[in-house]
Structure formats: structure tokens, C-alpha cells
Structure 1
Amino acid sequence: MSSDTPPVAKKVPAERTHHGDTVIDEYSWLTVKDDADTITYLEAENAYTQAVTGHLADLQEDVFQEIKSRTQETDLSVPTRKGGWWYYSRTEEGKQYGIQCRLPALSESPPELTPGKPLDGEQVLVDGNELAGDSPFFAVGTTSVSPDARLLAYSTDFSGNERFTLRFRDLDSGEILPDEIPDVFYGGAWSADGTAFFYTTIDEAWRPYRVHRHIVGTPAGDDVLVYEETDERFWVGIGLTRSERFLVLGAGSKITSEVRILDAEFPTGEFRVVRPRVTGVEYSLDHADGHFFVLHNEGARNFELATAPVDDPATWTPLIEHREDTRLLDVQAFAGHAAVYFRRDGLTGIRVLPQGGAAYEIEFPEAIHSAAPAGNPEFQTSRLRLAYTSMVTPPSVYDYDLASNELILLKRRAVLGGYDSDDYEQFRDWAVAEDGTKVPVSIVRRKGTTGPAPTVLYGYGSYETSIDPSFSVARLSLLDRGLVFAIAHVRGGGEMGRQWYEDGKLLRKKNTFTDFVAVARHMKEAGWSGPVVARGGSAGGLLMGAVVNLAPEVFAGVVAEVPFVDALNTILDPTLPLTVIEWDEWGDPLHNADVYAYMKSYTPYENVDDREYPPILAITSLNDTRVLYHEPAKWVARLRATAGGGPFLLKTEMGAGHGGRSGRYDAWREEAFTLAWILDRAGSADTGETK
């Protein structure tokens, strides 16, 4: 078979029956990852994709060079103060990974740093390039400095499967300690004296379910199991309050949480429960000024903020009461004030609660924006560090001075090549869904782009995750070629509050899909869009598969990245990673016939038919543990065997995980590949062809 001939997946009928319904899955053999036939098939798909997109090679290179030339490759972050040190990260031209560093804090003001010119006294904490070596994949899971600033805990992953190895470094000597702990998850927390480090491990379903205590300098085999979560719906995690007074051990499902606390000065003590779990009640906390701030949704769908005494944390007194128009997202507590992160009208905001003063909200310069607290490890501070961006404003770092109420711009990411935000414009529009619900849409284009223009429409719509307006260097390669970029803020996300999320999950999940189709049609009817190319990843990949089944004629092309397109079969199998946890999001089709029937009516793999479909590009990774590679592999095989139209392409990263390739240059090349395909489908490729 030549590489320009579509691979034909063999059919090996496998029968399954649920709730009296018998289904034949002819491609289930692709779930066997270590089978030679599976690898051969994936490699054949890669060869076919390369052959079909071969005419775009020059365009791919052009887009890659545009991304690279607009990026300040040697750069550094704004230093953040913690104790006696300033912490920051930097990148160097030609190197794939960031370098985490620190400098002694010799004054109250951050040091003047120049990219490419390390200051005397700089100490490198983690050099990703050095650690990665020749590995095709590399990721850091945790970096945490002990309270006395003497020890560093860090973890690494060389395959993309999100099982990290935890190590410790003596920062005084630079020595890597013999302590080595395999198969840990993200996160971790130090005891107050820096002798103990708490970490989580995962089960066979990749669920973080255990918290352990490691005493530095002792064998990992001696580590103490502090907590084990036996309910398969719950994840666990461990952290510290900002005051570093309390260790916080949290257990949470999609709809319920339970928190345990322990004085960080007594790491061998027993954690105590703040409030026992009650189904449907979520809460989290932080500590300051002799009490806890508790963010919870008990009788408050969009959450309210309460305070609780340290010696009686289960007694909650309202501080910010529930509002139907405002979803409270997080609280960060400091000595003398707190910052509340919230969402209203589809946009984020920050409210400051000064001790003994009136609360107020920070004003931002653009009507469409994203803002969030960021990089605030210091408990005693008179400033609040913020991250800010919009669809035309590059990522920016501000300090908000609590005394003067002034926003102080510390850094705006450089965009080289003469980028001027005034050359672009952003809009908020509203589409009307099938049931009359107004769905917000964020839109950006280059000024002078008129009439119906080719459009990339992005969507997600699950887990109450919001796709906020933000800037992208790579996106400029689309906008400068006359494309419009839009985000459909569909139900199932969190953009419009908790009800918005609940209206797009479980037995209301189809609202997510019909909202997206409504937005795509609105973009054309309102004169924004010509051909529309849809794009989404992970749960947003399920969205892509569902909308192309619902309305294939609406889209000129579809990009589905690590797509959750075989959702029914996955959620039916409790042995697969994350399945039981997901029942609160999608429903439990294994034990509930109504959920089974509803999911079967929308899951992409189950609903491919013999209509004409637009071209589809599915991208996945062999080592993905969140959405397994076989979901898009099976989907593409069925599309090719059943549907008309296409072509249907599958591209599998053979050495990566859920996030794709790890090095920044590799990631830029992958994005350039995808954008070139999008431009080709939109009729804007520099190839002399219009599709």
C-alpha cells in the first residue's frame, strides 16, 4: 500500500450488550496498545497524513518561522518574592525547555534582569534542558522549595504518562539527594520545618488516591501512608495555606469535596476533617488573620464566601453572600487582605477584601479580557500580582498596589516583528441557541478584514472549564491572512456561572453541541464568517465529533485534538483511567439505562453515518492517559469505512501524552502543521489552491 492511499483498518467484530442493546464494535482491537497490528496501523495513518498534507510543507515552514520570529526566544519572567529570594524562570534561544532560577533578595524591589545576562548569585533550580537530555518527551510535574529555602522537591516525566519520579536537591551544595520516589502525581507540600514532604500517588486508573509523608534522608520504602481515598469517584491532593500554617488535604469528586487540615508544625500529627462530605457540596479554604476563608456552594449554587474559626472550622459565617449573576471561583488570603477571583457576564474579575475596610473590585482597561491572581506566594505583602490578557493584548503581569489602588504593569510579553495591538479588533457577540438561550461569542480579527471571512471557531464546553478571551502568537498567522478567530462559549463550560455548566452536562449534554452549531450558523448569518473550520481538544474533541455528526454541512473542516470521541465505550468500562470519576460529569451508562440511551444518541463514534462529512484532522498521542489514543483511531477508521467526503486524517504522536509534544520548538512545529491544514481548508493557504 502506498502512503498516499488511505489505510483500511481491519474489522474484527466484537459484540457487547448493555441494557438489552447489542452493539458490534469492529475496531475494538485498536485498544490493545502493545499489539504489533495496532502500531503498524497507527504508523500507516501517520504516513498517509504526511502524504496528503505534503503540499503544505512550505506553508508549514512559513508558519513555524512566523511563530518563531515573533517570539522572544531568550526571555524571562517577572521575579516573584518568597522569603529571602526572588524566584523567576527564563528561556534561552535554541533550547526547548525553561530554566527555573532564584536570586537572593537584597532589596524590597525586584532585581533588574536582562534576558540572556544572568546576574551574579543566580542559582538554577531546575534546568529542563539539562534534565531532558536526548529524551523526545520531558515534563516537570512539581517544583517546591522548602520553607527554609534549603531543599528543592522536583519531579519529572519522560514518557507523557503523567507518572512522575520525585527527587530532592540540597540547594546549598547542589547535591541530588539519594531519596527517589517513582510514580507520584502532581503537587506536594512541605512541613513547616522542611523535614517532611507530602505527595500523592495514583492507582491503575490514574486516579490520585493516596497521600504519603516522606522524611527527607530516609528510604522511600519507609514513607508513611497518611490517607487513602477508597471512593473511586474522588481524587486527592495536598497543599499548604498561603500562610503556610496548615497542610490542606483535599478529596473531591466532580460534585463533592471534603477537606482535612493539619498544623504544618506537626507533620506527624493526625489530619482533622473540616466538614464531612455531603453529596453535592463543594468547599475549599485558605487561612489568614486567625480564621479560615471558606468558599462553598451549600445552598449557594454560584458559591459564597464564609469565615470560620480555626478551632471550629465547620462553623461558617457568610462574608460574601450568593449572587445569581456572579460565580465565585477562588479566594487567596494574605496578612491584612484577601482577593476573591470571580466570573460575571462571561468575564473574570477580582474583588479585594481589605481587613477592616470596604470591599471593592479592580477595574481593567479593556471590556473584553481575562484577569486572575497569579504568583502570590508571599503572605505578608502590600501588592497583589495579577495575570492579564485579551484577544489583542499579549499576556501581561501587573502588580496591584493596595495602598494607591494602582495597576502597575511589570511586563507584557514581547511580540517581535512590529506587532501593534491597534491593528486588531475584538468583539463580543451573542448567538441564539435552539431553545432561545443566548450564547456568548468572543471574536478577534485584523482591522480591515471585512465581509464574510474564513473563520476558525473554537469550543470546549465541559467540566465547568471556561475558554476565556486570550492572546496567541500563533493565531496571528491566521489573522494576518484574513481569517477571523472566534470562541463559542457553549453550555457545559463555566463562562456564565454554575447553571451554565449544569445545563451542558449529564442528560443536558446535547445543549453543548447544539449551542456550537447555533454559533457557527450565527457567524455566517451575521456576516462574520465565510467557511468555518471548527477546532477543539479533549472534551472539546468530543464536541467536534458530535457537531460534525449533527451538521456536517456547516463546517469546511474540523480539527479534533486528543478527542474524547469514543465516550460511551470508555465510560462503560470502569477499568479504564478516570472512568468512574467521570460518571458525575457524563452519567453512568453502565448501571443506568436512560444514561446509556442518551449517551449513545450523541457520542461521535456511535453516530457516524453515510452522509458527506467535511475533511477532518484528528491528532492524538500514544501515551495519553486522559483520552486514550484508540478513541480517535477507531473514530477515523469508522469515518473512512462509513461516511462520504473527507479526507479523514489521523496523526499520532508516538512518544507524547495528553498535551502533545513537550519541547517548545516541537510544539510550535505541531501548531504550524495544524494551522497550515486549517488555512488550506479555509481557502487561505499560500499554495495557489483554494479548497
Structure 2
Amino acid sequence: MPFRFTAAQPPAPTRRPIRRILHGDVRIDDYHWLRNREDPQVIAYLEAENAYAAEVMRDAEPLQEALFQEMRGRIQETDSTAPVQDGGYWYYRRTVAGLDYPIYCRRAHSLEGEEEILLDVNELAAGHAFCEVGEFAVSPDHSLLAYALDRKGDEAFTIFVKDLRTGELLPDRIEGAYYGLEWGNDNATIFYTTLDHAHRPDALWRHRLGSAQANDVLLWREPDERFFVNLYKTRSRRFIVLHLHSNMTSEARVLDADAPDASLRLIEPRRRGHEYFVEHRGDRFYVLSNDGAQDFRVLTAPVETPDMAAWRELIPETPGVWIERIALFQDHLALFEWANGGKRVRVVQLAPAQPEVVDAHVVAFGEESYAVDPDENPIFDTTVLRLRYSSLKTPETIYAYDMAQRTLQMLKQEEIKGYDPDAYETQRLWATAPDGEQVPISLVHRKGIALDGGHPCLLYGYGAYGASSEPSFRANRLSLLERGFLFAIAHVRGGSEKGRAWYLNGKLLHKKNTFTDFIAAAETLIAQGYTSPERLTILGRSAGGLLMGAVVNMRPDLFAGVIAEVPFVDVLNTMLDPTLPLTVIEYEEWGDPADPEYYAYMRTYSPYDNIEPKAYPPILATAGLNDPRVSYWEPAKFVAKLRCIKTDDNVALLKTNMAAGHGGASGRYEALRETAFEYAFLLKVVGLV
């Protein structure tokens, strides 16, 4: 059934062509002017697009409200997280029905102690359309709280410090900060990072409480624009780590947290292609490294002489099993690994005070396909590993896993009102890519469906930066599943679900494998009777939005509708502009188009540059006006050009959040309304409205 929409006419932005020539190739960009957000015509255009999208979806407003109410009705609106014990306190966050934001709390000594409210984000958000707490760090003696606040969505934070004994804010203010905030062990020193003109975290600073930001000490400024400055504290709480990383190279320097005025010490100089991550236990650093190990291995080095000459292997590489991250404890090491399309947790018992393996095992869960990550684990000397677990049909569950006893204890499971997981089943399918590679597909649907091709389906994909798409639970998704939708994830190349080679074969000059893998997954779902082209919808965000733009250019006949959230679709223009946030660091992911070979390759798939005069399915693109990662003009230009060139009458919608950034609305209720709008769009394109 075709998409039903009003007769409203879409906005038609003025075409102001500019001619670009590079490597002998000529490109005409009619909508370059949309980059100027200071131009009132640009804002007027975005607002006109929002009004048009609302008009097109006006007949679905009752459905949007119904979707919002049912999604809201499933969640436990007044709820709290599983408390985490740390330093004589139990820390947790709670929500209150009708309030958008969490309230950070703690209780002293036991869970029966009196509640102390540390930070009520609802109060901070009052009068603001957007509010995000990016960092929340309690001092080692638990008397002070440092937190980072963003009220625009551009991920540039202001750091505040609160005295938890008096409830008063200290006069300290740190502007222009980024993610990364750690305390020195003296309870008087804060380490933080700041952004450069291109919105790249490039500097590490030391701040003494009571002093002005102008007096802060610069510990590191990274001159190489390919590298980000990152900051963390080892789980032992002994070292502050400056982690410098590009998309394929890293370097670490450490500072003794007990001596916060000390200098940084280099672990191992950067070497192109060498990635490593440092943790600490006893008199050793533990290093997760890809040196001589594409899928990474774990080595150790003496604290006093930590350079590579002293590294000794502790956990060897297992080819095809990518170690994504490690969590180190006093007597155990937990490895979070990907292999053959699935995630697992491997626990290694370590000899007391020695870098030696005593035993190892894999944590057993009751499902074949699932998502699992470390939860908050502030205590170092413990046998308990807190895990955050879910699957496509199992709500998020917090487990306490005793690594010595090998027992799982459920601490809390997300309560989903009216939901019966036994009414659904999950499956793992395999699609054959054009080059013969087997692409995993994770799938959930109601039990007992007939494979007659008649089911609507939403297929999700990402496929970039080595980030794997975990088959996790989302309560909102039930609004589709209950209406007969199937939900599937295509674990395409560009992620690391089948080891690091899966990532390497989906980047740079292999990027188009990501797109053909996704198309193969779509064709497999159709061929096996799960859905049909008239009922198959697709969704991706950010780099996954690039995937959406590429595959709809390649195979528009295969899809009934497309949602591209904050999509990276203007690839060539963005990668040719080093003044934009992220561009230079992205060269190692996509290539530098100043090189003719990379330019020619990008030219073949850049969605904005490959729109053709042919029929396209209905498309909804979203944007955030303050987005520092994917600029709002990328989806705006894509939609404008698409409408101008395509030959069909299907709608192309642009919906811009004028008060937010890359992540969309910050308040939980407004975020539900954004989801309700998108789900209503999907239900319309498959004829279920």
C-alpha cells in the first residue's frame, strides 16, 4: 500500500550552485549555502521543513499520541537503578513519574540509610530545552562532586563542583570542557580535557580547587589533528591515564594519582597502526595491545619500566576473537570479546600479586545471542563483576557475577509492563555477501509466524569504526513488534562482530562491503519469507545514516521506507573540509580525498553525490541544529537534492531538532515523542495506518 500523505507542497530551497573541481572531477553543489546557520534563510528553511514534516504526518497525530502513551505506559516511570556500593555509600539514580531527568542519590552505610540527593538534573534543566550531565565524578573521600553540564547539545561542557557536606556549589567554573573528568587522590585536584577550534578534544589540564580556570596547568596539548585526547583513571585508582588515540593508533601517558602535581610518564611511543590501552594492578601495568596480534592480546609491564621492551604476554591472541575491552580486578581479569557474530565474557583468574594465569572460563548465559557489557564496578579488590545484560527479547538485567564461585545473581531487571518475553523468539540467520562472506543477522519476532513474506520488518545497520551492533533490548521496539513487525540487525563489515578483520574489511577502500553486506541481509530476509520489498523498512544513524543513504541509492527498489537519523551523507564535502569537527581524525576511517585514489572511491558511494533521477522509497532524515558530529546541513542538503532529482511522488522528510545535538532530545518524554514520530512514519509506509 502506498504512503498516504497530505497534498502539502514541500519547501523548495533556492539553488545556489557552486562548482568544485578536484582531480579532474567536476561536482556542482546547489545547496552549499545551507551550511551558514547565521543566515536567517537557513533557519527559516529548517523550520519550514519541520512544518512540512508535521503537516505530512498530521493524519497520523492520533497514532503518534497512542504510540507515545503506550511506550510511556510500559516503563516504570518512578524507578531507580541497582545501587552501587563505593566507599561506605550506596550510589544510585532514580526517576520520578512526570519528570524528564534522573536524580542522583546515595545512602550512607546501608540501603536503609537516609537518602541524600546529590544532583537533581530536573532542577538544572529548568528553563532549558536541552540538558545533559556528561560527567559525574565524586571525590575519593566522597565529600565533593564534580559534574559537567551541557545545555545546548553541542557537547561543550561547563564543570561545576558541589560540596556534598553543605550542598553549596564551590566558586570553581571550568568552561569549554569535554568528556573526561577525574579526581586526584588528594581530593583537591581535578583533571579535565578541553576542545580546540574544530571541536576536537586536544588538551589535558590540571585544576586546583579554589583557583581560577585561567591559572589551570596545561599538561598536554596534542598537535596532531588526527588524535583525540582522552582521560581515565585506572580501576586500581592509582593512575590518571592520558590516552591519545586516532582511529588506528594510540599512545598512553600516566600520572600518579597520589601525587597529582607529578609529571606525565610515557608508556610506549605511538607507532602507526599500534593501538593499546593501559590498566594497573600491583607493580604491573596490564596492556591490551594489537602489536603482533590483529585481534589483540594482553601483556604486562613493570610500573617502573613500562616501555614495550619490558612487555610480557599474559593472554595470547586468539585469531578471529576480538578483545573489545578488559576489566581488571585484584585477582581477576574480565575480557569482553566478539567472535563469529556474538559477544562473550571470559574471566581469567590471576595469581595473587603475580601476572600469571591460574584459570579461565567463559560466563554462561541462557541465550545464544545477547548483549553484555560491564556495569559500574568501582571496587577493585572484589570477586564480583557487575554486568549489564539483555537480548532482543530479554529486558536489561543487572547481574552480580562472582568470578570465583562462577555464580550469577540478578540485582535488577528492567520492568516492562504488560510484556511477556515468552511470546517472542530470537534467531540468528546468515546472509551470503557477493564475495562469499557470511553476514550475521540477529532477528526477533512473535512466535509462530508464517514465512509467507507478508510481515513488515525493520532492518537496522551501522558498520563503522569497529563498533559492533549488540542485539540488545529496547522497550519502545515493542510498539512495532506488537503490530506484527519483525526487527533485525545486519552485523555488517565495518563492525567487529567477527573479529578485527571484519572491521578492516569494511573501511577505507573496502567501505562498500558494508553496503553490499546490508543489501545481502535484506535480500536474505526476503528470500526466506520473513518480509518483502513492499514491507521492508530500514534504519541507521550517524555513520549508519551513511549506510542508509548508500544502500537506498544502490537498491531503492528493495525498501518500503528509510529512516536516516543524523546521517553522514555529504561524505566528500565534509572530508574535504579540515576545519570541520572530526574531519582530520576521520581520514583513517574513510580516507583522505586529497589522495586521488580515495577521492575516486568515495565519489562512487557518497550518498549526496550519487542521487540519481529514479524512483526512491519514502525517506525520513533527522538532524540536530547543534550537532558537532554530523552537521545539520548534511541531511538538509541530502533531502533538498533528493526531492529535486528523484522521479517518484514519495515523500522525503527532514525533521530537525532546533535545540539539540547528535543524540536528539535530552528529556526522556521528548525522546519518546521523537520515537513515536518515527514509528508512525514506519507504520504509514507499510500500510498499517
TM-score of the alignment, normalized to the shorter chain, above 0.5? yes
C-alpha separation between the residues in 1 aligned to 2:365 and 2:640? Answer: 48
Alignment partner, residue 574 of structure 1: 578
Tell me the CA shift for residue 325 of structure 1.
2.3
Alignment partner, residue 49 of structure 1: 53
Residue 273 of structure 1 pairs with residue 266 of structure 2:
yes
Question: For 1:230-241, what aligned pairs fall within 5 Å after superposition?
Answer: 230-241=223-234
C-alpha separation between the residues in 2 aligned to 1:237 and 1:483? Answer: 41
Residues 320, 500 of structure 2: 8 Å contact kept: no
Tell me the CA shift for residue 359 of structure 1.
1.4
C-alpha separation between the residues in 1 aligned to 2:515 and 2:241? Answer: 38
Residues 304, 328 of structure 1: 8 Å contact kept: yes
State the SS of the aligned residue for 1:298.
Answer: coil
Identical residues among aligned pairs (%): 49
Tell me the CA shift for residue 382 of structure 1.
2.2
Alignment partner, residue 144 of structure 1: 137
Alignment partner, residue 409 of structure 2: 408
Unmatched runs of 5 consecutive residues or more in structure 2: 1-5, 352-357
State the SS of the aligned residue for 2:609.
Answer: helix
Query: Which amino acid letter does the alignment assign opposite residue 473 of structure 1?
Result: A
The counterpart of 2:114, out of the listed 95, 115, 121, is 121
Bigger Cα displacement from structure 2, 207-216 vs 380-389:
380-389
State the SS of the aligned residue for 2:476.
Answer: coil
Unmatched runs of 5 consecutive residues or more in structure 1: 112-118, 686-691
Question: For 1:149-228, what aligned pairs fall within 5 Å after superposition?
Answer: 149-228=142-221
Tell me the CA shift for residue 141 of structure 1.
1.0
Tell me the CA shift for residue 403 of structure 1.
3.4
Residue 603 of structure 1 pairs with residue 606 of structure 2:
yes
Alignment partner, residue 429 of structure 1: 429
Residue 663 of structure 1 pairs with residue 656 of structure 2:
no
The counterpart of 2:63, out of the listed 59, 63, 68, is 59
Deviations 1:383-407 (A, max 9, x none): 1111110000000000011332111
Tell me the CA shift for residue 21 of structure 1.
1.8
Alignment partner, residue 355 of structure 2: none
C-alpha separation between the residues in 2 aligned to 1:420 and 1:319? Answer: 44
Alignment partner, residue 12 of structure 2: 8
Deviations 1:156-191 (A, max 9, x none): 111101000001011111110000011100121111
Query: Which amino acid letter does the alignment assign opposite residue 424 of structure 1?
Result: Y
C-alpha separation between the residues in 2 aligned to 1:43 and 1:21? Answer: 34
C-alpha separation between the residues in 2 aligned to 1:325 and 1:221? Answer: 49
Question: For 1:462-477, what aligned pairs fall within 5 Å after superposition?
Answer: 462-477=464-479
Tell me the CA shift for residue 448 of structure 1.
3.4
Alignment partner, residue 377 of structure 2: 376
Tell me the CA shift for residue 499 of structure 1.
0.4
Tell me the CA shift for residue 329 of structure 1.
1.3
Residue 21 of structure 1 pairs with residue 25 of structure 2:
yes
C-alpha separation between the residues in 1 aligned to 2:334 and 2:252? Answer: 21
Residues 151, 168 of structure 1: 8 Å contact kept: yes
The counterpart of 2:276, out of the listed 276, 279, 283, is 283
Query: Which amino acid letter does the alignment assign opposite residue 185 of structure 1?
Result: Y
State the SS of the aligned residue for 2:680.
Answer: helix
Tell me the CA shift for residue 495 of structure 1.
1.1
Residue 352 of structure 1 pairs with residue 347 of structure 2:
yes
Deviations 1:495-549 (A, max 9, x none): 1111000111001101111111111111100111122101000000000000000
Tell me the CA shift for residue 289 of structure 1.
2.8
Residues 139, 187 of structure 2: 8 Å contact kept: yes
C-alpha separation between the residues in 1 aligned to 2:258 and 2:413? Answer: 39
Tell me the CA shift for residue 3 of structure 1.
8.9
State the SS of the aligned residue for 1:232.
Answer: coil
Deviations 1:217-246 (A, max 9, x none): 111111000100000000011111111111
Tell me the CA shift for residue 292 of structure 1.
1.4
State the SS of the aligned residue for 1:300.
Answer: coil
Residue 549 of structure 1 pairs with residue 553 of structure 2:
yes
Residues 439, 519 of structure 1: 8 Å contact kept: yes
C-alpha separation between the residues in 1 aligned to 2:255 and 2:627? Answer: 35
Alignment partner, residue 625 of structure 2: 622
Residues 289, 336 of structure 1: 8 Å contact kept: no
State the SS of the aligned residue for 1:559.
Answer: strand
C-alpha separation between the residues in 2 aligned to 1:325 and 1:160? Answer: 38
State the SS of the aligned residue for 1:599.
Answer: helix
C-alpha separation between the residues in 2 aligned to 1:122 and 1:130? Answer: 18
Residue 326 of structure 1 pairs with residue 330 of structure 2:
no
The counterpart of 1:559, out of the listed 554, 558, 563, is 563
Bigger Cα displacement from structure 2, 548-557 vs 187-196:
187-196
State the SS of the aligned residue for 1:584.
Answer: helix
C-alpha separation between the residues in 1 aligned to 2:100 and 2:553? Answer: 39
C-alpha separation between the residues in 2 aligned to 1:415 and 1:53? Answer: 28
Query: Which amino acid letter does the alignment assign opposite residue 329 of structure 2?
Result: F
The counterpart of 2:481, out of the listed 479, 482, 503, is 479
State the SS of the aligned residue for 1:375.
Answer: coil
State the SS of the aligned residue for 1:596.
Answer: helix
Alignment partner, residue 394 of structure 1: 395
Query: Which amino acid letter does the alignment assign opposite residue 41 of structure 2?
Result: D
The counterpart of 2:492, out of the listed 483, 490, 493, is 490
Residues 449, 482 of structure 1: 8 Å contact kept: no
C-alpha separation between the residues in 1 aligned to 2:283 and 2:89? Answer: 26
C-alpha separation between the residues in 1 aligned to 2:500 and 2:255? Answer: 31
Alignment partner, residue 439 of structure 2: 439
Alignment partner, residue 77 of structure 2: 73
User: When the two structures are superposed, what TM-score results if normalisation uses the length of structure 1?
Assistant: 0.96
Query: Which amino acid letter does the alignment assign opposite residue 410 of structure 1?
Result: L
Query: Which amino acid letter does the alignment assign opposite residue 85 of structure 1?
Result: Y
Tell me the CA shift for residue 412 of structure 1.
0.7
Residues 46, 650 of structure 1: 8 Å contact kept: yes
C-alpha separation between the residues in 2 aligned to 1:125 and 1:186? Answer: 20
Tell me the CA shift for residue 344 of structure 1.
1.5
Residues 3, 48 of structure 1: 8 Å contact kept: no
State the SS of the aligned residue for 1:192.
Answer: coil
C-alpha separation between the residues in 1 aligned to 2:25 and 2:338? Answer: 43
C-alpha separation between the residues in 2 aligned to 1:33 and 1:66? Answer: 37
Residues 293, 331 of structure 1: 8 Å contact kept: no
Residues 369, 390 of structure 1: 8 Å contact kept: yes
C-alpha separation between the residues in 2 aligned to 1:635 and 1:280? Answer: 34
User: When the two structures are superposed, what TM-score results if normalisation uses the length of structure 2?
Assistant: 0.96
Deviations 1:433-481 (A, max 9, x none): 1111110000000123323211100000011111110111111011111
The counterpart of 1:311, out of the listed 304, 315, 340, is 304
Residue 366 of structure 1 pairs with residue 367 of structure 2:
yes
C-alpha separation between the residues in 2 aligned to 1:566 and 1:85? Answer: 49
Alignment partner, residue 114 of structure 1: none
C-alpha separation between the residues in 2 aligned to 1:684 and 1:164? Answer: 43
Tell me the CA shift for residue 8 of structure 1.
0.8
Residues 384, 401 of structure 2: 8 Å contact kept: yes
Tell me the CA shift for residue 6 of structure 1.
1.0
Query: Which amino acid letter does the alignment assign opposite residue 163 of structure 2?
Result: D
C-alpha separation between the residues in 2 aligned to 1:476 and 1:448? Answer: 17
Query: Which amino acid letter does the alignment assign opposite residue 400 of structure 2?
Result: D
C-alpha separation between the residues in 1 aligned to 2:109 and 2:224? Answer: 45
The counterpart of 2:330, out of the listed 326, 335, 344, is 335
Residue 98 of structure 1 pairs with residue 91 of structure 2:
no
C-alpha separation between the residues in 1 aligned to 2:539 and 2:334? Answer: 34
Residues 332, 403 of structure 2: 8 Å contact kept: no
Tell me the CA shift for residue 120 of structure 1.
4.9
Structure 1 segments of 4+ aligned residues over 4 angstroms from their partners: none
